[in-house]
Structure formats: C-alpha cells, structure tokens
Amino acid sequence: MPVDMRVRLGQVDLPNPVLAAAGCAGAGRELAQFTDISRIGAVVSKSIMTEPWTGNPAPRLAETPSGLLNSVGLQGPGIDAFLQRDLPWLLSRGTRVVVSIAGQTVREYGVLASRLADASGVSAVEINLSCPNAEDAGRPFALDPGTAGTVVAAVRGSLRYDIPVFAKLSPDVTDIVAVAGACVASGADGLSLINVLLGMAIDPGTMRPALAGAYGGLSGPAIRPVAVRCVWQVREAFPDVPIIGTGGVHTGRDALELLLAGASMIGVGTALIHDPSACSRVLRELEEDLAAIGVDRVADIIGRAHGGNPQSPPWARPADLTGKM
Ligand code: RRO
C-alpha cells in the first residue's frame, strides 16, 4: 500500500508535504529542467519585491562546513514581471504556487498583498520577514514581535481571506515563540520556520570577508538542529498552527525529523543547489521511510515527537527510530 502523502494547505490539498523552499528555486524554471515540479507539494517563489532589484554585489556565496552563506540581497524581477510571466508559467505546469513576498517597509508588503489579491491560482503567500541581506542588514522585521505583527496585519488586510498567509521567521531571536505568537495574533494562518542564521566568513588568503556584503545567511545541514528546535518550540506553544519546516533538509530522514517536531510541510532549499532533483528525491525517501515504519498517512506523524500525546504510536518512540535509521 502506498503511503497517503497528502497534506492540507489552507483551502488546497497538496499531494505531498515537500516544497521547494523560497530562494533556491527561483520561480521554478531552472528546477523544471531536472525534476517534474508538478509532482512536488508546491514551489515557493524566490521572495518578490515591488520593483525589479539587482541584489548585492558579488561574491554573494561562500561555502562553510555543512553549510552555505549567501548574500543575494533579494535579487528579483519585481511583482509585475512575476505576475505577467512567472506565475502563469508555473500554473501552466500544473504546479501549486506559494508566493514569497518581501518589502523594505510595511507599506510595500501591503502593496504586494493587494497585487496578489487579484491573482488567481496562488495557493498561499509566504511573508518573508527574515531576509538577512536587505539594506538595513541585521534588522529583519522578524526580530521584533510588534514589527512582525504589523507586517502580517498589513498583508492580511490587503489579501483575500481564502489565501492563507504564512510568516517566515528568523531563528536569530531570543524567543521565537513570542514572534510566532505576534504573527498568529495579527492574522497569520501559518508559520514558516526557519530562514537563515546571520553568519560571516573571512578568507585567510585575502584577509577580507568572503562575501562582498560581509554578512550573509547561513543555510544547509549546519542549521537543521536549529530548525528542529524552532519548529518544536512553536508547535508546543501553538499546536493548531500549521508550520512549513525548512532548514538543512537533504534527505527523507531530515524531512521526517521536522515532521515529527511539528511541521506539516517541509521546505527543501540549499540541497537544490547541488541536487536540483532534491525535492523529488526527499519525497521518495520520506515515503520509503514512512512505509518502512508502518505509517499509512503522513498526516498521522505530524508533531508525534511531542510528549503527552496519548495516541503516539510505538514506532514514534526514539528507540524505534534510532533502530531503523
Ligand atoms: O535574497 C537574499 O539574500 C535572501 C533572502 Br530574501 C532570504 O530570505 N534569505 C536568505 O538567506 N537570502
């Protein structure tokens, strides 16, 4: 019996919980050369701004142990080109689309939401509150619960209510539960956890920062335990709020870990850079892992690692998982 991989995203049933995370798949075109993007759960667009934007100067990428630093700086075509060119193309491929939006001001987020209010075929909007590489580096909106909530309210107020909004948060805070709570109180239907951690590398050869922008966002396997911790904490506090778990997922086992922590969908990001078919592979591996431990429906294991769940089945116990993996 195949595992039932369907999960619910707002009004839409996704065929499975594996999403191409924002930033590493552009608007899906490059990925489509290597993998069938209609078969993954959804493609989350690279964060869209109100205007075309060239991003930060090069070098914008630096490898680190088990991770990647980026300082892309929100490069993108702007909302007009996205709506005219990229969104119709994605929909024509039968792909479910989550649109990530990013603004420099609260007003810009509202403008982006109003533009999307008229667009058909958008499964959800992800509000990127956590880009570390904007002009005021180090002060993403998600660093403060009040500011994060203000942005969410602006988006929610300008968007149709049948389009769910997910707030993408930063792990670079003392209390991610407080930021998550402010977003939910301001109208977020779900949360996307996590964006990158702010990092830096110095090239001993040049004795200068490896990135032109000095700081950058750290992603990849190095940050997965941080993602697991954030998903766990937020799930403990808000068990009914859907979470897209993102951060260093490279294998089906990594995805399973985030599902057990409480994510109901999984974003695959940095893995796509060296394996553009990573979403399909992670999906296949996850399905195999679930079948091997006797799970019929992926929905049954979401949040199962949390204590005090009387229905937690025997296979969810750490010893069983350790034995299998
Ligand atoms: O474009 C970027 O530099 C960027 C963004 Br918007 C983000 O949300 N996370 C990231 O690591 N880089």
pLDDT digit string, tens, across residues 2-22? 999 999 998 788 999 999 999
Whether the per-residue pLDDT at 313 is higher than 80: the answer is no
> Residue 157: its pLDDT value, please?
96
Mean pLDDT, residues 63-85: 97
Residues contacting ligand 1 via CB (< 6 Å):
23, 47, 70-74, 102, 128, 130-133, 195-196, 217
Count of CB atoms situated within 10 Å of the CB of 284:
13
Whether 134 and 56 have beta carbons less than 8 Å apart is answered as no
Taking residue 168's Cβ as centre, other Cβ atoms within 10 Å add up to 29
Q: Which of 221, 159, 168, 224 is nearest to 47 (CA)?
A: 168
At residue 283, what are phi and psi to the nearest 5 degrees?
A: -60, -45
Ordered strands of the 197-200 beta sheet: 61-64, 67-70, 215-219, 197-200
Tokens linked to 189? 């239907």
Task: Look at residue 39 and tell me whether its pLDDT is greater than 90.
Answer: yes
Catalytic residue among 24, 131, 183, 279: 131
Q: How far is the CA of 175 from the centre of ligand 1 (A)?
A: 21
What is residue 215's predicted lDDT score, i.e. its pLDDT? Answer: 95
Per the annotation, the verdict on 279 as an active-site residue is no
β-strand pairing of 122-128 with 67-70: unpaired
pLDDT-based confidence at 37, cuts 50/70/90?
A: very high
Does the structure show a pLDDT above 60 at 113? yes
Q: Which atom of ligand 1 is least distant from the CA of 60? A: 3
pLDDT in tens, 241-256: 999 999 999 999 999 9
pLDDT confidence of residue 235: 98
The whole-model pTM stands at 0.94
Quick one: which atom of ligand 1 is closest to the CA of 56?
3
Nearest CA to ligand 1 atom 9: 131
Is pLDDT of 318 > 80? Answer: no
Q: What stretch of H or E contains 13?
A: strand 12-14
Residues 264-306 have pLDDT tens digits of 999 999 999 999 999 999 999 999 999 999 999 999 999 999 9
Positive or negative CA dihedral for 219, 224, 228, 233?
Answer: negative
36 membership: H or E segment, kind and range: none
* The predicted structure's pLDDT at residue 98: 98
Given this model, what pLDDT does residue 1 score? 82
Average pLDDT over the chain reads: 93
CA distance 211 to 70: 8
Average pLDDT over residues 102-110: 95
**Greatest CA separation found in the chain?**
57
**Which of 50, 195, 215, 270 best tests ligand 1's pocket when mutated (most atoms within 8 Å of CB)?**
195
* pLDDT value, residue 308: 63
Has residue 262 got a pLDDT over 50? Answer: yes
Pocket mutation for ligand 1, best pick of 46, 70, 112, 215 (most atoms within 8 Å of C-beta):
70
User: Looking at residue 10, what is its pLDDT?
Assistant: 81
Q: How close is the Cα of 213 to the center of ligand 1, in Å? A: 13
Quote the ligand 1 centre to 72 CA distance (angstroms): 6
Ligand 1 site-directed mutation target among 61, 143, 196, 215, most atoms within 8 Å of CB: 196
255: DSSP letter: H
Residue 239 corresponds to which tokens in the numbers above?
A: 């068990």
Alpha-carbon span 181 to 204, nearest angstrom: 42
Which pLDDT score is estimated for 317?
A: 36
What distance in angstroms lies between residue 45's CA and the mean position of ligand 1's atoms?
12
For atom 4 of ligand 1, the residue with the nearest CA is 131
**Predicted local confidence at residue 314, as pLDDT:** 42
Q: How far is the CA of 108 from the centre of ligand 1 (A)?
A: 17
86 or 317, which is more confident? 86
Share of the chain above pLDDT 90, in %: 88
